Amino acid sequence: MNDFNNNNGSSPLSLEERLAQAEFPKRHATNLLTEFALNTCSILRVEGSDGGYKFVIQLSSGQLVETVLIRHIRNNGHVRYTVCVSSQVGCAKKCSFCATGTMGLKAQLTSGEILEQSIADDDMPSTTETARSRFRVKPNGVIRNVVFMGMGEPMDNYDEVHESLRGLTHQYLFQLNAKHITVSTVGASARKIRLLADEAPQVNLALSLHSAIQESRELLIPSANANPMKSLGESLDYHSTKSGRGAMIEYLLIDKVNDSDAEWTHLRSFVKNGTNTKIYSNIRRCL
């Protein structure tokens, strides 16, 4: 495997050289070079806190998305970050608990725009030196994980998301281990969950469930009517079989909405009936 920054010990490869070696299908390589290498995104604002940074990013169209860097302090004191990327401007899903859902769908991000959220290296303007120096993905760098939990439903922009997964894991680009990448979905399309299992089985799947009772689930996630619990469970089992790992279930506990005993009983039964599915309770989406 060629080194990411230094090809056979000589001068560092440029992004264009890396892309040229990446053997993307011609159409995608052209798209990536056009959309990614030009650094079409710029950071408008950075908000920092103990938990990390939130970036407001302007796309070339002028539309805005948010990217979040989540800070983890390991037992040895080393700091690592997870990047939470957006895949759409706005979202068509209209989940009742989500601010992005009130915007409607404004635009699909290209694979290049998704990747730019994960690189933002020295070429990218940043409002603070500290943020710039930390906001980069590279082998053995401080960013180890990428999660698709920002604005948008990744499955509604499947082709571009899939292409960005190839870029994130490619040996000439980000070289991320696929097991350090998570795609989160509200589960409205069984077909897309199966497709992800077929095309990117090493990438983690997170299901934003929030209720295992179909009627309650549809109140929180109206699009859930397209994929009832039985079909959803079957698609998760398919993913689990293909990937060899269970999906992560995200469940945002909302007082007097989805915290009853009946909800717990249904959730437990849904998980128990599945193959190798784990619950990490009360995990929130980033945005």
**Cα 205 to Cα 25: distance, rounded to the nearest angstrom:** 25
**Which of residues 134 and 210 has its CB atom nearest to ligand SF4 in the complex?**
210
**Which of residues 173 and 209 has its CB atom nearest to ligand SF4 in the complex?**
209
CB of 261 to ligand SF4, least distance (A): 25
**Cα 231 to Cα 88: distance, rounded to the nearest angstrom:** 26
**Cα 229 to Cα 108: distance, rounded to the nearest angstrom:** 28
CB of 73 to ligand SF4, least distance (A): 28
Binding site for ligand SF4 (CB under 6 A): 91, 93-95, 98, 100-101, 151-153, 186, 285
**Cα 121 to Cα 114: distance, rounded to the nearest angstrom:** 14
CB of 46 to ligand SF4, least distance (A): 22
Sign of the C-alpha dihedral computed for residues 96, 97, 100 and 103 taken in this order: positive
**Which of residues 155 and 176 has its CB atom nearest to ligand SF4 in the complex?**
155
CB of 65 to ligand SF4, least distance (A): 11
Q: 50 - beta bridge partners? A: none
Residues 6+ apart with CB under 8 A from 120: 41, 43, 55, 126, 132, 135, 136
Helix intervals (H) in the chain: 15-21, 26-35, 111-119, 129-134, 158-169, 190-199, 214-220, 229-243, 261-273
The CA radius of gyration of the chain, in Å to the nearest whole number, is: 19
CB of 163 to ligand SF4, least distance (A): 20
CB of 131 to ligand SF4, least distance (A): 24
Do 218 and 229 meet the contact criterion of CB atoms below 8 Å apart?
no
Do 41 and 124 meet the contact criterion of CB atoms below 8 Å apart?
yes
**Which of residues 19 and 209 has its CB atom nearest to ligand SF4 in the complex?**
209
Q: Which two tokens mark 36?
A: 């990614």
Do 124 and 42 meet the contact criterion of CB atoms below 8 Å apart?
yes
**Cα 87 to Cα 149: distance, rounded to the nearest angstrom:** 8
CB of 96 to ligand SF4, least distance (A): 9
Do 93 and 156 meet the contact criterion of CB atoms below 8 Å apart?
yes
**Which of residues 46 and 98 has its CB atom nearest to ligand SF4 in the complex?**
98
CB of 2 to ligand SF4, least distance (A): 37
**Which of residues 36 and 101 has its CB atom nearest to ligand SF4 in the complex?**
101
**Which of residues 52 and 152 has its CB atom nearest to ligand SF4 in the complex?**
152
Phi, psi of 35 (to 5 degrees): -90, -25
**Which of residues 72 and 94 has its CB atom nearest to ligand SF4 in the complex?**
94
**Cα 116 to Cα 109: distance, rounded to the nearest angstrom:** 11
